[in-house]
Amino acid sequence: MQNTDAVVWTKKLVSIESTNPGKEEHEIAGFLEQEILAALPESGKLKKDYTKEGRPILMAVLPGETKEELVFICHMDTVPIAGGWTKNPLGEDGENGRFFGRGSCDMKSGLASALCAFLEAAAQVKETGKAPRRTLKWIGTSDEEGDMTGAERVIELGWVTKDSLVMDTEPTDGEIQTAHKGRYWFEVTMHGKAAHASRPEQGMDAIAGMAYMLASARNRMKELKEDAFLGRSTIVFGEIRGGVHPYQVPAECKVSVDMRVVPPYHIEDVKALLEAAAKDAAKEIPGLKAEIQITGNRPPIAHHEDAEMLARIRAAVEEATGKAPVVSAFPGYTDTAVIAGTTGNCNCLSYGPGTLAMAHKADEYVDEADIRRCQKVYETLLEDWLWK
């Protein structure tokens, strides 16, 4: 039987760079492919496919007696290493059981914990020759730290469906995290009219117009209803460009807009909000025209208190740790959110080692105790799922 110590696996996976953008997932996918193939029983399956950009995705399957399936989904990529590190970004042990490295927290320790639980189940099937009661899948995705094309390809292939129980292993601070604000991105271009700065009345100031629009959009966002679980919707203007010369009325201004939106609001609602804000700006500077382009469309994911996956992981956490878990919302957007938003699946959530506060930072780390806790929880979850 292969080593199934998730701490050992975490250190090996961190040593394989899979930055996005950067080296990407090819090397780590090749390593995982070989290791999984060596561990699968005769009934097991391993599939490999690619996104349209050529990024690899993997799926390992232990078929069960029923069509019910539980899916671990883990992304293989990390953000770039970047600067500011005082530890080895490809892995270094620290004091008090901390392990440092890019991806140690987000999310190679989660990947290792889920895969080790899968490998132990595979060894049990191989040893007994007995098929599990229900199906188990482990999926490795690519490009989660980019456009999430790996998760989109997984959905296209039918590797996950509306009826799958799906859990990713993102760092969740010991909590179970279920819901997500929608992530909507826009590029807004304000078209005005150029003129000499000494004759501003002859032009239409696109930068001033954009300022009116952004202020109106912020005020209108405050009027949206809150969600009892996710809280308020938010808006951020991450980048702005405009003008060509300090002595000229600017004819154009562009801004990027990031809107994190709670249910029941969707893309049409917030685009209409921006359009109304543009009309407010045109009242201040007549003749201005706003062009609003959608550049990102990820819908909000509501919390489902009665979801089967939530009940199962809650029970596993309590049994394995002796403590009732906290259930909260995930601050960002994950592969499971893509699955839930695309398929309407209500059984998608996150539970994994580490703290999101360390994700993407220099000297990223994970506590080895956290890794062992999650591996134990996953093993407890699978014992019930596969055999009871």
Q: Read off the pLDDT band of 160 (50, 70, 90).
A: very high
pLDDT at residue 276, rounded to an integer: 98
Q: Is the pLDDT of residue 35 over 70?
A: yes
CA 55, 45, 140, 310 dihedral sign is positive
Q: Is the pLDDT of residue 21 over 90?
A: yes
Residue written as token pair 């010991």: 174
Residue after which a domain boundary falls, among 259, 282, 298: 298
Please check whether residues 134 and 51 belong to one and the same domain: yes
Q: Tell me, what CATH number does 186's domain have? A: 3.30.70.360
pTM reported for the whole predicted model? 0.93
Query: How confident is the model over 12-38, as a mean pLDDT?
Result: 98
Contact 378/190 with Cβ under 8 angstroms? no
Q: Which residue range forms the structural domain that includes residue 332?
A: 6-180+302-387
Q: How many domains does the chain have?
A: 2
Please check whether residues 287 and 358 belong to one and the same domain: no
Please check whether residues 211 and 147 belong to one and the same domain: no
Q: Is the pLDDT of residue 1 over 70?
A: no
Q: Is the pLDDT of residue 2 over 90?
A: no
pLDDT at residue 251, rounded to an integer: 98
Q: Tell me, what CATH number does 356's domain have? A: 3.40.630.10
Q: Is the pLDDT of residue 121 over 70?
A: yes
222 located within any domain: yes
Q: Residue 289, CB half-sphere, CA atoms under 13 Å: how many?
A: 4
Q: Is the pLDDT of residue 190 over 80?
A: yes
Coil vs helix vs strand at 286:
coil
Q: What is the mean pLDDT of the chain?
A: 97
Please check whether residues 307 and 291 belong to one and the same domain: no
Share of the chain above pLDDT 70, in %: 100
The bridge status of strand 252-261 relative to strand 234-242 is antiparallel
Beta strand residue intervals within the chain, DSSP E: 45-50, 56-62, 69-75, 92-93, 98-100, 135-141, 165-168, 176-177, 182-191, 195-196, 234-242, 248-249, 252-261, 289-298, 327-328, 348-350, 365-367
Please check whether residues 227 and 282 belong to one and the same domain: yes
Please check whether residues 130 and 156 belong to one and the same domain: yes
Tell me the pLDDT tens digit for each residue of 201-249: 999 999 999 999 999 999 999 999 999 999 999 999 999 999 999 999 9
Query: Who contacts 57 (Cβ-Cβ below 8 Å, separation ≥6)?
Result: 29, 48, 49, 50, 51, 139, 140, 141, 142, 150, 153, 154
The first and second tokens of residue 280, run together, are 């407010």
Query: Who contacts 305 (Cβ-Cβ below 8 Å, separation ≥6)?
Result: none
The first and second tokens of residue 360, run together, are 């993407």
Q: Is the pLDDT of residue 18 over 90?
A: yes
Residue after which a domain boundary falls, among 263, 298, 333: 298
1 located within any domain: no
Residue after which a domain boundary falls, among 264, 298, 332: 298
Tell me the pLDDT tens digit for each residue of 123-132: 999 999 999 9
Q: What is the DSSP letter of 353?
A: S
Amino acid at 329: A
Burial 131-158 (b: 16+ CB within 10 A, else e): ebebbbbbbbbbbbbbebbbbbbbbeee
